[in-house]
Amino acid sequence: MFKDVNVLKSKRLEQKDENIAASVKAAEIIPLSFALSVSLGALIYFRLSFEPAWLLISVSVFLGVGLAASLTQIAWSWAMRWLIYSLLGLSLGLLAGKLRTETVAAPMIEVVTGPIMLEGWVIGVDAGPKGQRLRIKPHAIAGHLPEDLPELVRVTHVLDVKIRAGYFVRCWSVLRPPPGPSLPGDYDFRRQAWFQTMGAVGYVQGRCRGGVLGNPAALKDKISVHLARLRRNLAEYTYRASGTRAGGFAAALVSGDRSFMPIEDQESLRAAGLAHLLAISGLHLGIVGGLVYFMARFCLVLIEPLSLRIPVQKPAALAALIAITLYLFLSGASVSTQRAFIMSSVFLMALLLDRSAISFRSFSIAMCCVVFIHPESVFSPGFQMSFAATGALIAAYEAWRSHQPLDFKGTQYSPRFFIKSLIVTSVIASLATAPFAIYHFQRLAPFSILANLMAMPIVSLLSVPSIGLTLCLAPFGLADWGLALFGLSLEMILGIAVMAENLSREWAGLTKPLPSLALLCFLAGLISFILLQNRLRLMLISGALLCGFGAWATSSPALVYWSPSGLVHIKSSGEGYRHVPFGEAEGLGSLRFQGVTPERACLENICTYALQNGAALKIINRLGNDMTDMAELCSPDAQTLWLVRTPTRSEAASACPTILYWSDIQTKGGVEVKQARQGFTIRHAPICSERPWRAC
């Protein structure tokens, strides 16, 4: 009898332990799955080809909230609760996208305008490949009513800019609507402009002149103008004090203003895998918040009556939170900076509330906040790469901590621990972000791990202390000394970037783009690495990697791209893309092939290029008397593609899958040509759709 009672008690204890383990597992997985579902819901909203009605969004949210409220208490397993909260996250992601689209709606220029007078306040100055890009808050545009003015206009200023940010200017400008993707699958700048309330882009004819109008009347606009002026003054001061070689880099790090930084240095940092140092993101807010936190904590510890009565880390965390809030507005409050600010704020709030700062719960809260505030950022490489790197690092940190001995905390300040953590951080972050870099930019930085291993000690041991020294010396008017040391450390980083760029010059460009299926497989492997903590993790990661590399190896890249900018991208056998000018246009080039050097244009009547898999491309400049009827060249299963400049065409050849006219590119958008079993498949980039940011 007593034996049966003991067995029963043992079974109950085992069942209780299993329930506790299941609860702990659910507490770890459900918040992260909810955050991923919110991001997926926003992604689905923006990928729809139509604008969903409010009724559809409301029904999905009602069902999600109803299921979560009614079934959570009776769900018999953590898997059931995971499914319920995932459905709720999907519906909330759809709602976030719809609300954001409706709230940012602003007027946009509908047609290309000739040289007209543009008057407004300069909000920011950015560096561009063809000149400085001025972001202007319009006060008046010739021929446009006040209620039709865009919230923001970006124009390119080719000549030297003599106008400071925050001041009123008058410019003769040519304006046009923000362009859409020039090629199928390319980045949609028009969608980005819609959510930035940028209603027009263009260029300045001549030089912008200063005006006599003062600050705008609206309080919001007045604050933005003052912040732009303060930000520009800070950038100019940092540029002068940090030296000519790295002054632009220092100004970009301190204020977010990249107009002083040469394009060559920016490209070197990207090619070396050090572009994360350039954008105002988590590293910069971490430096600012960390410096203020440790300085405030050190000062509070010196006050013995105070340090014995209160935990000094809490007021230090509050001071750091105030500091990063001020730095957010001072640096321009871009989307990437807001994302980093939210993540840093969650970290500091965890310290204030006595919660674990480095955990997936904080990670999930930060992801949800970013998606709810800026749901359109789920498409941006910055969002994807930053959260991928952060999630992978937290997972690696948790695994590392669980396998360390009991005296782990006593070794965290040793040089050996510093070197090991630096290597692990660089390797994990580089591997986690590599698929997204390949997918978006079609380039790989093979020496990024080496460059980060060489650069990050300089940042930690020289750059950060020099910024701290600058803050300490600034009240005494000696900030130039700290900034000079800061500039020297950045010169060393630029030297490392140039070295890594030269080493990776032969390896950076990829001949085959990464397909979406391969990216999804790699993403599934990353999510498995983050969520799971047992042997199943290794199996799923291995399967995802095999699936991703298999999809990448078996994918067939496009043979020909023809963009509205008048550039033909030709895929030759066993080589990368050749870039041949063909077509007179002023359209923007593809972001996928940004910065490429075109070959000599086709000057003959007919130019022939060999394509991959035995196909051929023929470019026709002029139709001769013996080629007046292009229908004779049309064959659905032919292996020769014809590109024709002249708009003359026959009705029989208007729908021919092997003939493309320049007029088609101008009216239907850029084209992507892939080889099929018989002939070619042609896909145009959509010029317009039912979505508000791409309205016809």
Residue with tokens 């510093």: 418
Please calculate the CA angle 259-320-251 and round it to the nearest 5 degrees: 15
- For the chain, the farthest-separated pair of C-alpha atoms sits apart, in whole angstroms, at 108
Q: What is the pLDDT of residues 349-405, one digit of tens each?
A: 888 887 766 677 778 888 888 899 889 888 888 888 888 888 888 888 877 776 665
Cα–Cα distance measured from residue 119 to residue 141, given in angstroms and rounded to the nearest whole number: 6
Cα–Cα distance measured from residue 602 to residue 580, given in angstroms and rounded to the nearest whole number: 7
Cα–Cα distance measured from residue 587 to residue 181, given in angstroms and rounded to the nearest whole number: 11
Residue with tokens 């008397």: 625
Cα–Cα distance measured from residue 601 to residue 145, given in angstroms and rounded to the nearest whole number: 44
Cα–Cα distance measured from residue 350 to residue 358, given in angstroms and rounded to the nearest whole number: 9
Among 122, 260, 104, smallest CA distance to 195 is for: 104
Beta-carbon-side half-sphere exposure of residue 12 (alpha carbons within 13 Å): 6
Torsion of CA 179, 180, 186, 188, to 10 degrees: 100
Under 8 Å between Cβ of 391 and 526: yes
Cα–Cα distance measured from residue 553 to residue 147, given in angstroms and rounded to the nearest whole number: 53
pLDDT of the residue at 23 = 46
Residue 590, pLDDT > 50, answer yes
Q: What is the pTM of this model?
A: 0.80
Pairing of strands 616-620, 640-644: parallel
- Residue 5 pLDDT class (50, 70, 90 cuts): very low
Beta carbons within 8 Å of 538's beta carbon, 6+ residues apart = none
Q: What is the pLDDT of residues 457-513, one digit of tens each?
A: 888 788 888 888 888 888 888 888 888 998 899 999 999 888 888 877 666 555 577
Average pLDDT of span 162-187: 83
Instruction: Tell me the one-letter amino acid at 518.
Output: A
Residue 410, pLDDT > 70, answer no
Under 8 Å between Cβ of 552 and 512: yes
Q: What is the pLDDT of residues 97-106, one digit of tens each?
A: 999 999 988 8
Under 8 Å between Cβ of 82 and 36: no
Cα–Cα distance measured from residue 564 to residue 590, given in angstroms and rounded to the nearest whole number: 9
Q: By CB neighbour count within 10 A (0-12 exposed, 13-18 middle, 19+ buried), where does 216 fall?
A: middle
Domain boundaries, the chain: 2-103, 116-214, 516-554, 560-694
Q: What is the pLDDT of residues 275-295, one digit of tens each?
A: 777 766 666 777 788 888 888
Q: Percent of the chain scored above 70 by pLDDT?
A: 84
Pairing of strands 209-210, 168-176: antiparallel
Cα–Cα distance measured from residue 659 to residue 644, given in angstroms and rounded to the nearest whole number: 7
pLDDT of the residue at 93 = 93
Quick one: how far is CA 64 from the chain centroid? 29
Q: What is the b/e burial string over 517-556, where b = at least 16 CB atoms within 10 angstroms of the residue's CB?
A: ebbebbbbbbbbbbbbeeeebeebbeebeebbeebbeeee
Cα–Cα distance measured from residue 80 to residue 30, given in angstroms and rounded to the nearest whole number: 10
Q: Percent of the chain scored above 90 by pLDDT?
A: 6
Cα–Cα distance measured from residue 572 to residue 98, given in angstroms and rounded to the nearest whole number: 43
- Residue 107 pLDDT class (50, 70, 90 cuts): confident
Looking at the chain, the number of H-run helices and the number of E-run strands are: 20, 15
Two structure tokens written together for 191: 């969608």
Pairing of strands 567-571, 680-684: unpaired
Q: Is the dihedral of CA 201, 206, 208, 212 positive or negative?
A: negative
Two structure tokens written together for 622: 């002029």
Q: What is the pLDDT of residues 301-341, one digit of tens each?
A: 888 787 777 888 888 888 888 888 888 887 767 766 777 78
Which class does domain 116-214 fall in?
Answer: mainly beta
Give the 3-state DSSP-derived string for 243-283, with helices as H, strands as E and coil as C.
Answer: CCCCHHHHHHHHHCCCCCCCHHHHHHHHHCCCHHHCCCCHH
Rg of the chain over CA atoms, in angstroms? 28
Beta carbons within 8 Å of 241's beta carbon, 6+ residues apart = 247, 479, 480, 483, 484, 487
Residue 418, pLDDT > 80, answer no
Two structure tokens written together for 431: 């591997």
Beta carbons within 8 Å of 115's beta carbon, 6+ residues apart = 172, 173, 174, 205
Residue with tokens 């965390």: 317
Q: What is the pLDDT of residues 108-119, one digit of tens each?
A: 888 888 889 999
- Residue 44 pLDDT class (50, 70, 90 cuts): very high
Average pLDDT of the chain to the nearest whole number: 79
Residue 696, pLDDT > 50, answer yes
Long-range contacts (CB closer than 8 Å, 24 or more residues apart) made by 465-471: 467/287, 467/291, 468/291, 468/295, 471/291, 471/295
Two structure tokens written together for 297: 């904590």
Average pLDDT of span 664-675: 83
Least trusted range by pLDDT, from 245-249, 395-399, 583-587, 675-679: 583-587
Cα–Cα distance measured from residue 133 to residue 143, given in angstroms and rounded to the nearest whole number: 23
Under 8 Å between Cβ of 644 and 535: no
Residue 92, pLDDT > 90, answer yes
Residue with tokens 């319009």: 138
Beta carbons within 8 Å of 106's beta carbon, 6+ residues apart = 150, 151, 197, 199
pLDDT of the residue at 153 = 93
Least trusted range by pLDDT, from 16-30, 192-206, 236-250, 335-349: 16-30
Identify which of 300-309, 422-431, 514-523 has the greatest average pLDDT: 514-523
Instruction: Tell me the one-letter amino acid at 689.
Output: S
Cα–Cα distance measured from residue 482 to residue 243, given in angstroms and rounded to the nearest whole number: 12
pLDDT of the residue at 4 = 52
535-554 vs 516-531: helix crossing angle, rounded to 10? 170
pLDDT of the residue at 546 = 92
pLDDT of the residue at 615 = 82
Under 8 Å between Cβ of 175 and 153: yes
Quick one: how far is CA 462 from the chain centroid? 28
Cα–Cα distance measured from residue 195 to residue 51, given in angstroms and rounded to the nearest whole number: 15
DSSP secondary structure string for all residues of 628-677: S-GGGG--TT-SEEEEE-S----GGGTT-TTEEEHHHHHHH--EEEEE-S
Cα–Cα distance measured from residue 144 to residue 413, given in angstroms and rounded to the nearest whole number: 63
